[in-house]
Structure 1
Amino acid sequence: MMQRAFFLCLLALAAAPAQAETMRCGSKLVSLGDRAFEVQQKCGEPAHRDLVGYTLGEYDRREFKMEEWAYGPNNGMLYILTFEGNRLIRIETRRSR
């Protein structure tokens, strides 16, 4: 029973999307904290762009736009970039199906 639970935990971890701090676009590197226009200069137009919503900034005084950009699939990998207030805050990688 213990081996089965361990195996199921490993399977769940493997199925979850991975997060990275950098992404390579040709010979250029995109990093967390980059501005949206910098990412577009380095990687080109995304395959898909989606407005996710808005989030409140520090002290709940300003709203920031949340966007997700998708690049790929490149070699079977899909890259999903999340921007908050035009700053890159998350890079997710997933295997495309």
Structure 2
Amino acid sequence: MKNIFFTIALLILASPALADSVRCRGQIIEPGVSKYEVLKYCGTPDHVAPIGSTTIKSNNVKVETRTDEWFYEKLDYGKDYVIIINGTQVSSVKQLD
């Protein structure tokens, strides 16, 4: 019985990351993860494309956040991914076909 649970646990750990996430060096990169963690675990992106910015005004203070697409080739099981970084956090992760 213990062998069955051990086998199931191994299969779960070895399975690919969820559709809106990617696995880098054993860590799951998903929306909400910091830009720092993406760089730490996935490394430098193969290509970065700025796609816009957002300005927030509050109490006479303007804060502008930049949104970029980070393209990675051959991550999780050799697939290509784009990670959208909004400011300092991941806002989405997409597998490219």
TM-score range, shorter chain: 0.5 to 0.7
Equivalent position amino acid for 1:34 in 2:
V
Structure 1 stretches of 5 or more lacking a match?
1-18
Aligned residue runs from structure 1 range 58-77, under 5 A: 61-74=62-75, 77=79
The percent of aligned pairs where both chains have the same amino acid is 25
> For the aligned residues, what is the CA RMSD?
2.5
Contact 1:33 1:89 survives alignment (8 Å): yes
Aligned residue runs from structure 1 range 1-97, under 5 A: 20-57=19-56, 61-74=62-75, 77-95=79-97
1:62 Cα deviation from its structure 2 partner: 2.9
1:48 Cα deviation from its structure 2 partner: 0.8
Cα deviation code 1:61-86 (max 9, x no counterpart): 53210011011134562100001111
Residue number in structure 1 paired with 2:8 = none
Q: Size of the alignment, in residue pairs?
A: 77
Change (3 A) 1:44 1:21: same
TM-score, normalised with respect to structure 2 = 0.65
Question: CA separation in 1, counterparts of 2:57 and 2:81?
Answer: 28
Contact 1:20 1:90 survives alignment (8 Å): no
Structure 2 stretches of 5 or more lacking a match?
1-17
Q: Which runs of 4+ in 1 moved over 4 A?
A: none
1:55 Cα deviation from its structure 2 partner: 1.8
Contact 1:29 1:42 survives alignment (8 Å): no
Question: CA separation in 2, counterparts of 1:26 and 1:37?
Answer: 14
